[in-house]
């Protein structure tokens, strides 16, 4: 393929995926499909109970419902294509399809970064300023916070996707990845990508550094407040309200930092030269983390567990 740009609707890319490891493709197809179904079921149930159970009509569970919906959107933007690639000998995607996938994946990831910081603020107010909690976290406030998270994430994705699709892609059209990931696509550009690299660095600071710092400071105050509670039972109860969120934060950001801890291969043609972990670690981030979120919140939150039991019992008795 000589050249590809946004104005050429027939232009497409070839996704190498795990072509260099054909024995792994069938195994990962079954594994990822199973995980994807668990994601849809687990997060779908969480969304359902946060809507149907009046006891969960609070800011914390409103954010949780947003997180579950976000995880479904994030995985659905890429996993079906990945699964199809495991079974298809020639894995191709149109330029517009690749651009759409880049936009959705980046938007969902950026939104989750901001949303987790919003959830940390909610826990900070609930534990450190419980008397002011109903006023500070009113419905108009927490709805605005959620909308802002989606808007900021979407805006950042528009910027990066636009900068990427405007680049000329000449010569090679092979993406050495499981899906259309922005960093992998940028390697195919035949012009200087300094602006893209700089903007990506700025975005990493905004969506990784700032939220992590905000969450860390919030939990310093939260832990300090919990330690001042005189009774052990009171401390346990207070910590239980934020332990699930803290666990999700550690898994989410831990995976992200691990994924970008080193530069990826600069050779997009040689799948045999690409470290397998460069493909499997993002897959872990994109599948395992959304799968664990509903499990963590269900196991570590008695209100969610009670709501799920009520939903199951209601379905059983109405049959």
Average pLDDT (1-18) is 57
Q: Which residue has the higher pLDDT, 146 or 318?
A: 146
pLDDT for 185 equals 83
More confident residue, 107 or 241: 107
Task: Name the nearest CA neighbour of 277 among 74, 21, 86, 31.
Answer: 21
CA distances from 138 to 46, 59, 174, 198, 221 (A): 22, 8, 50, 38, 22
Lowest mean pLDDT among 76-80, 185-189, 272-276, 285-289: 272-276
pLDDT in tens, 184-198: 888 888 888 888 888
Summarize the confidence of residues 268-285 as an average pLDDT. Answer: 60
269 dihedral zone (left: phi>0; alpha: psi -120 to 50; beta): alpha
Q: What is the CA radius of gyration of the chain?
A: 21
Tell whether the model's pLDDT for residue 265 goes beyond 70.
no
Position 250 confidence tier, pLDDT thresholds 50, 70, 90? confident
* β-strands 174-175, 169-170 pairing: unpaired
What span, in angstroms and rounded, lies between the C-alpha atoms of 263 and 66?
Answer: 32
Give SS3 for 17.
coil
Rounded to whole angstroms, the Cα distance separating 32 from 80 reads: 10
Tokens of 65: 């419902």
Give the distance from CA 227 to its chain's centroid.
32
Q: What is the pLDDT of residue 71?
A: 93
Question: Can you tell me the distance from the alpha carbon of 291 to that of 35, in angstroms, rounded to the nearest whole number?
Answer: 7
Does position 2 have pLDDT exceeding 60, yes or no? no
Which has the higher per-residue pLDDT, 72 or 275? 72
Q: Which residue has the higher pLDDT, 10 or 173?
A: 173
DSSP string of 97-112, one letter each residue? HHHHHHHHHHHHHHHH
Lowest mean pLDDT among 25-34, 54-63, 146-155, 274-283: 274-283
Report the distance separating Cα 208 and Cα 202, nearest Å: 10
Q: How many CB atoms lie within 10 A of CB 83?
A: 16
CA distance 244 to 102: 29
| Matching residue, tokens 């195919």 | 188
**Structure-token pair, residue 273:** 């030269």
| pLDDT at res. 43 | 93
Instruction: Pinpoint the alpha helices (H) of the chain.
Output: 22-52, 59-76, 79-87, 95-128, 133-136, 139-165, 182-186, 194-204, 210-227, 232-259, 277-299, 302-318
Range of weakest confidence among 86-100, 129-143, 215-229: 86-100
Give the per-residue pLDDT at 180: 84
Q: Taking the CB of residue 184, how many other CB atoms lie within 10 A of it?
A: 25
Q: Is the pLDDT of residue 157 over 90?
A: yes
Q: What is the mean pLDDT of residues 161-172?
A: 81
Pairwise pLDDT comparison (72 vs 288), residue with the higher score: 72
Q: Is 183 or 280 the better-scoring residue by pLDDT?
A: 183
Question: Do 168 and 189 contact (CB within 8 A), yes or no?
Answer: yes
257 has pLDDT over 80: no
What integer is the mean pLDDT of 117-124? 94
60-108 confidence digits (pLDDT tens): 999 999 999 999 999 998 898 888 888 877 778 888 888 899 999 899 9
Q: What is the pLDDT of residue 5?
A: 44
């Amino acid at each position: 393929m000589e050249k590809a740009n946004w104005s050429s609707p027939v232009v497409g890319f070839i996704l190498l995926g795990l072509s260099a490891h054909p024995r792994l493709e069938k195994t990962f197809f079954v594994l990822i499909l199973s995980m994807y179904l668990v994601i849809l079921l687990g997060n779908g149930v969480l969304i359902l109970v946060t809507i149907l159970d009046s006891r969960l009509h609070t800011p914390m569970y409103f954010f949780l419902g947003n997180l579950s919906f976000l995880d479904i959107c994030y995985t659905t933007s890429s996993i079906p294509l990945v699964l199809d690639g495991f079974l298809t000998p020639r894995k191709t995607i149109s330029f517009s399809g690749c651009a759409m996938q880049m936009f959705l994946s980046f938007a969902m990831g950026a939104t989750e970064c901001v949303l987790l910081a919003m959830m940390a603020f909610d826990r900070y107010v609930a534990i450190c300023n419980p008397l002011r909690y109903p006023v500070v976290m009113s419905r108009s406030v927490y709805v605005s916070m959620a909308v802002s998270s989606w808007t900021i994430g979407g805006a950042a994705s528009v910027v990066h996707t636009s900068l990427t699709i405007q680049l000329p892609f000449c010569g090679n059209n092979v993406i050495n990845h499981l899906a259309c990931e922005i960093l992998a696509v940028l390697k195919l550009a035949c012009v200087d990508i300094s602006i893209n690299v700089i903007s990506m660095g700025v975005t990493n600071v905004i969506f990784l550094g700032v939220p992590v710092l905000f969450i860390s400071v919030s939990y310093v105050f939260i832990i300090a407040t919990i330690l001042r509670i005189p009774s052990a039972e009171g401390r346990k109860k207070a910590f239980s309200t934020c332990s699930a969120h803290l666990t999700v934060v550690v898994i989410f950001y831990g995976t992200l930092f691990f994924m970008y801890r080193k530069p990826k291969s600069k050779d997009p043609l040689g799948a045999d030269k690409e470290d397998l972990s460069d493909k499997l670690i993002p897959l872990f981030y994109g599948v395992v983390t959304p799968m664990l979120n509903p499990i963590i919140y269900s196991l570590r939150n008695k209100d969610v567990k009670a709501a799920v039991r009520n939903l199951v019992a209601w379905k059983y008795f109405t049959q």
